[in-house]
Amino acid sequence: MNSILILLITVFSITLFFYGRSKSKIWSIEKSVKLKALPKFYGYYLVLWCSIPSLVFLGVWTIFEPVIIKSIILKFAENQGANILDDNAANLLYEKVKSIYSGNFFGDIDFVLKESAVSYAKFLNLFTNSKIVLVFTLIIASIIYSLKKIKNNNKARDDVEFILKGLLFTSSLIAILTTIGIIFSLLFESIKFFSVINVFDYLFGTNWSPQRAFVRDATTITAAEYEELKDAFGFIPLIAGTAFIALIAMLVAVPIGLFSGIYMAEYASIKVRKFSKPVIEILAGIPTVVYGFFAALTVGPFFREFGESLGLTVSSESALAAGLIMGIMIIPYISSLSDDVINSVPQSLRDGSYAIGATQSETIKKVVIPAALPGIIGSILLAVSRAIGETMIVVMAAGLAANLTINPLDSTTTITTQIVMILVGDQEFNSPKTQSAFALGLTLFIATLILNYIALRVVKKYREKYE
Amino acid sequence: MNKLERLKKRHSAEKRFKFYGIASVTIAIIFVLILIQNIFSKGSSAFQKTVIKVDVFYDSELIELNNGATLKEIYDADFYDLTIENLLKTYPSKNTDEEDELLKLFSSDAEYEIKNAFLKNNQLIDKTITLEITASDDIDQLHKGNYPRDLPEDRRSITDNQLFIYDYFVENEIINKNFNNYFFTNGDSRDPELAGIGGALVGSFYSIIICLLIAFPIAVLASIYLEEFAPKNKITDFIEININNLAAVPSIVYGLLALQVLLATLHLPRSTPLVAGITLALMTLPRIIIPCRASLKAVPPSIREGALAVGASKFQSVFHHVVPLALPGTLSGTIIGLAQALGETAPLILIGMVAFVVDIPSTPIDPSASLPVQVYLWSESAERGFVEKTSATIMILLSFLIMMNFIAVYLRQKFEKRWN
Amino acid sequence: MKKVKIRAKNLDVFYGDKQALFNVNLELNEKEVTALIGPSGCGKSTFIRCINRMNDVIDICKIEGSIEMDGYDINDKSIDVVELREKVGMVFQKPNPFPKSIYDNISYGPKIHGKGETKDELDEIVENSLKKAALWNEVKDRLNEPGTSLSGGQQQRLCIARAISVNPEVILMDEPCSALDPIATAKIEELIDELKTTYTIVIVTHSMAQAVRVSQKTGFFHLGKLIEVGKTEKIFKNPDNKMTQDYITGRFG
């Protein structure tokens, strides 16, 4: 049905374009009036008015129609006596109704189901017909309006451009919409979560074992159940694990990245730089799932065997393996940014230092790096933000047990791993377990936001100094 | 410390410092090489599959078909007994236990392959043809040299007897390696020897196309607005801050967004390239906007002014003159953004693209996997055979990425004009 | 009769394929100010950058011939360029103080060369250098402020103090006043006059009036060749070479 409507709108639009274009020429001759714009713009004007309101209307209707119908039917079913106290039962009932409608249902159909299915068919029909009528009304109204306008010789080009500018502005609003969407998604579930689990139990709890949270519906938790639950969602081991692995990663990435950046910016010949810079940036282009695979398959077992040969117990999912691989992935973030930042330190500073008789390394250590420091710190902060938000490497190579440890040979888990693990298994809607994943996501989002903000401020301040 | 000593110390510090620099660059490059070598060495064997030569006699007594049977009749016919009979002919087994072990050397696909040959040529009743039947996963790995033969029998899945039969096959040159077309044409499978990336390829393809169709127009229009038309006010600043933030948000947060808005609220179908495409588009938007704006910014004002001077409207000057010049940089940035989207895994896992999908999806609203998600799924499997498949998938994925990056760099270098 | 501090013999300098200096022979006397004049791009800056081997920083720069200081060829393999630059300081056209405090700007050089081990020693060096550069009174109460917070003229005197801090024997100045206003310029010319009693100074300048004011010896460069060199008074009153005469009288450049 939608495709037919869209086709109709397209046909109307094309017709209107040619109509508008030719008619405007004719009218200007008839009335001996000079057109205020090229004829084709009158055509465009009609097209825009015909298509935009109706398409937008169609889109919004299509998106919200299923949701509205579903709530109507469920309300109806409840009135008929259906027992749909929780979401799962409600969804099940609705799925059955839809299957009956499409002729795919082969189970027993009781009275409630039958009535609901009939009601569903009725409302679906009603909505579809309304949609068609309303779309047509919109189209006709728009055509009448716009025809009147062009009859009065409007400044078609200006009007068309105004409308198009509106479209441009709307496109740029998508960015804000996305942010709103993210905040909404995270907050929505997190609020449900925090209505069950106290924020402080979450932030300061030292035990994370959400498997315990088998409660089906968060609204019916008893006090006794809560006592058990409140110790299951402690955030501390997760932030500790995340920070620990990120720390190992930075210990690998900062020295190698910084020295690579310094070498490429200060010492390397043009040929060497032309070769090594892209090769190192390959490290940034490799999908993280590849790193995760490499870490899980090769590096983790290697460390375990190597450790065993030295008499140490090393987990095959050691924080060391995950951190090392993550560090490798981060190297280009630091080396490229440092390279750029060091290059933008003015040569006059270096000249002043050489003229006093400093060696190149002394100049770099005491003049160039301090001058470039804000930019370098900014790049490190951005790298840390990347490390914290990284998912695949830790999902595949780090462990699942949330233990507080500072032994790099142990396995530990991170925020992102837990989000994936919670949401990939069987999802129980409305359980604190599923909601906790969103609470974790919210925490992660806020943390990276703050880090990114500080990093960008620092880099911006640095840029202002030299440009 | 006298003058000379001090100078020596300073010069050796210089040498050390330079050495650290060279060492760091070298270490980084070596990592790249190790990674690539590791993947390629593990993955190259996946492009071949082990096959066993079987002379298949289409005994009319074992199947109820005649020459000239229709496709439907062939599909419905039972080839099981025929298959067993023919497979057992490959080796003189001494007892039923040995027969069972012999049968296990062949892939579970054997029956289908025998049927398939008849589908292609339905005049084979009571005739014999030689087919190359796919070997089972263990034999496949054994033949490729990835199997630990030397382990004691109770610690491996292949019995001594089966090893004996295998060696017999090798001696008699019945066993061979062919090009593994299944890898490209099949979807996922529990049997590693039959598993392929066909489904994942199509899934990735649809996802990226949808991502492109959504992200590119919106991103370019938004960039044009922000760069050329937006007034310098708080709203514009706010939009810009948002875009910069979104570019740095961890990808898993986009997965949560998709889960809540696309799946839970809008009830779009789970595990489909449609939802994946929309999610990837949201992620890729800022990554296209940022280079697009930079390209627009780089076009000198003289171009715009020249157009305005001949009476073009601001709109016309932007769209007819400025945008075409900014196109190479924009396209280049878009391709790089798409390359990053191609490699994304975490958000797709969250929207459920972890379904075990055997059939190749035919539309963007069929459930499917994507290449990186397939890598993730197979890496979780215990079977040895999946290691090479996973590595080979990575090779394919990396090839696409390298190609896309090359195109992006080429576009930028060939068509971008330097304005100073 | 002054001793010759620096002697350039048959000096040719190439940037890649382009030759910038042709067979320059020039002697610079110690504790005297020598001015190098000539139109833009004639090689004056290239010449003085050879004296402290700043041209080493530029990959494509090649030198033939020799420059001797106190009789030693400074381009010889046995000479440590770091030591050379301790003895030959440089002040640049645009003041380039480090983004550090005034104190750290001055103490940077001595620290590197091991000239001040204790805080007191460094304090003394900083004070002396700033005094000799006629800047001490203006900054003595704000030594911890960044060097970049000073005015243009003060920054240049800071750079001169920085050059002095390592106790050089020669100070090279590449158009040190071209970015400064007349008052600041006058202060620096005064300073140069005092400094010449301790250091050998070579100053590249665009301003002939300045050359007359500060120098005792002048060399005229044109298109990479040293056209004429001699006592400042002679060069400006009655030069031997016609080209020199034309330049002095403003016929070109």
**pLDDT the model gives residue B283:** 93
Whole-number Å distance between alpha carbons of B382 and B394:
18
Contacts of B245 in chain A (CB under 8 A): 179, 449, 452-453
List, in order, residues 6 or more apart from B9 with CB less than 8 Å away.
B1
Which of B8, B18, B25, B398 is the mutation pick for testing A, counting most A CBs within 10 A? B25
Provide the shortest C-alpha distance from residue A352 to chain C (in Å).
7
Whole-number Å distance between alpha carbons of A93 and A97:
6
**pLDDT the model gives residue B242:** 86
Task: Give me the sign of the Cα torsion angle A215, A216, A222, A223.
Answer: positive
Q: Is B375 in contact with B46 (CB distance < 8 Å)?
A: no
Tens digit of each residue's pLDDT (9 = 90 or more) over A430-450: 677 888 899 999 999 999 999
**pLDDT the model gives residue A294:** 92
Whole-number Å distance between alpha carbons of A140 and C157:
80
Contacts of C80 in chain B (CB under 8 A): 7, 11
Interface of B with A in 293-322 (CB under 8 A): 313-315
Beta carbons within 10 angstroms of residue C19's beta carbon: 15
**pLDDT the model gives residue B92:** 86
Q: Is A323 in contact with A337 (CB distance < 8 Å)?
A: no
Angle, alpha carbons A250-A253-A255 (nearest 5°): 100
C-beta atoms of C113 and B1 within 8 A: no
Beta strands at B128-134 and C200-204: parallel, antiparallel or unpaired = unpaired
Q: What does the pLDDT average to over C168-191?
A: 92
Question: Whole-number mean pLDDT of chain A?
Answer: 85
**pLDDT the model gives residue A216:** 53
Tens digit of each residue's pLDDT (9 = 90 or more) over B144-174: 888 888 888 887 888 888 888 888 888 888 8
Among the partner residues B27, B248, B254, nearest to A448 by beta-carbon distance: B248
Q: Is B287 in contact with B340 (CB distance < 8 Å)?
A: yes
Distances (CA, A) of A62 to A98, A101, A186, B112, B334: 17, 19, 25, 44, 30
**Pair of tokens at residue A19:** 């109509």
Touching partners of B (3+ C-beta pairs < 8 Å): A, C
Contacts of B11 in chain C (CB under 8 A): 80, 82
Beta strands at B175-179 and B48-57: parallel, antiparallel or unpaired = antiparallel
Tens digit of each residue's pLDDT (9 = 90 or more) over C182-206: 999 999 999 999 999 999 999 999 8
Chain C residues with CB within 8 Å of chain B CB = 80, 82-83, 112-114
Which stretch of A43-52, A224-233, C78-87, C151-160 has the lowest confidence by average pLDDT? A224-233
C-beta atoms of C96 and A359 within 8 A: no
**pLDDT the model gives residue A209:** 79
In degrees and rounded to multiples of 5, residue B325 shows phi and psi of -70, -30
**Pair of tokens at residue A418:** 């837990």
Architecture of B198-415 per CATH?
Answer: Orthogonal Bundle (1.10)
Which stretch of A161-170, B58-67, B296-305, B394-403 has the lowest confidence by average pLDDT? B58-67
Q: Is A320 in contact with A402 (CB distance < 8 Å)?
A: no
Tens digit of each residue's pLDDT (9 = 90 or more) over A70-105: 888 888 887 877 776 666 677 777 778 888 887 777
Strand partners, C67: C8
* ipTM (interface predicted TM): 0.91
**pLDDT the model gives residue A228:** 67
**pLDDT the model gives residue A60:** 87
Which stretch of A150-164, B131-145, B219-233 has the lowest confidence by average pLDDT? A150-164
Among the partner residues C92, C100, C113, nearest to A348 by beta-carbon distance: C92
Whole-number Å distance between alpha carbons of B322 and A347:
34
**pLDDT the model gives residue B213:** 94
Whole-number Å distance between alpha carbons of B290 and B245:
12
The pTM for the full model equals 0.85
Beta carbons within 10 angstroms of residue A84's beta carbon: 16
Whole-number Å distance between alpha carbons of B362 and A400:
36
Q: What does the pLDDT average to over A294-304?
A: 89
- Inform me whether the C-beta atom of residue C213 falls under 8 Å from chain A C-beta atoms: no
C-beta atoms of C83 and B10 within 8 A: no
**pLDDT the model gives residue A115:** 82
Provide the shortest C-alpha distance from residue A256 to chain C (in Å).
26
Among B87-96, B296-305, B318-327, B396-405, the range of highest mean pLDDT: B396-405
C-beta atoms of A352 and C166 within 8 A: no
Provide the shortest C-alpha distance from residue B1 to chain C (in Å).
9
- Inform me whether the C-beta atom of residue C224 falls under 8 Å from chain A C-beta atoms: no
Task: Give yes or no for residue A262 having a pLDDT over 80.
Answer: yes
Q: What does the pLDDT average to over C25-34?
A: 93
Residue B25 or residue B68, greater confidence: B25
Query: What are the strands of the beta sheet with C18-29, ordered from one edge?
Result: C18-29, C4-15, C61-69, C72-73
Q: Please report which helix (H) or strand (E) contains residue B344, including its range.
A: none
| Residue ranges covered by each domain of chain B | 46-180, 198-415
Share of chain B above pLDDT 90, in %: 31
**pLDDT the model gives residue A42:** 85
Touching partners of C (3+ C-beta pairs < 8 Å): A, B
**pLDDT the model gives residue A426:** 63
Chain A residues with CB within 8 Å of chain C CB = 346, 348-359, 362, 366-367, 370-371, 465
**Pair of tokens at residue C64:** 């033939």
Query: A144: burial class by Cβ within 10 Å (0-12, 13-18, 19+)?
Result: exposed
Whole-number Å distance between alpha carbons of C11 and C172:
18
Provide the shortest C-alpha distance from residue C233 to chain A (in Å).
31
Query: B357: burial class by Cβ within 10 Å (0-12, 13-18, 19+)?
Result: buried
**pLDDT the model gives residue A254:** 96
Strand segments, DSSP code E, in A201-307 are none
C-beta atoms of C98 and A348 within 8 A: no
Q: What is the DSSP letter of A107?
A: S
Question: Whole-number mean pLDDT of chain B?
Answer: 88
C-beta atoms of C82 and B7 within 8 A: yes
Chain B residues with CB within 8 Å of chain C CB = 1, 3, 6-7, 10-11
Contacts of B6 in chain C (CB under 8 A): 113-114
Q: Is A459 in contact with A380 (CB distance < 8 Å)?
A: no
Tens digit of each residue's pLDDT (9 = 90 or more) over A280-298: 888 888 999 999 999 988 8
Angle, alpha carbons B280-B283-B284 (nearest 5°): 85
pLDDT band at residue B236 using 50, 70 and 90 as cut-offs: confident
Which stretch of B73-82, C163-172, C186-195 has the lowest confidence by average pLDDT? B73-82
- Inform me whether the C-beta atom of residue C99 falls under 8 Å from chain A C-beta atoms: yes
- Inform me whether the C-beta atom of residue C86 falls under 8 Å from chain A C-beta atoms: yes
Task: Give me the sign of the Cα torsion angle A306, A308, A311, A316.
Answer: positive
C-beta atoms of C82 and B6 within 8 A: no
Task: Give yes or no for residue B397 having a pLDDT over 90.
Answer: yes
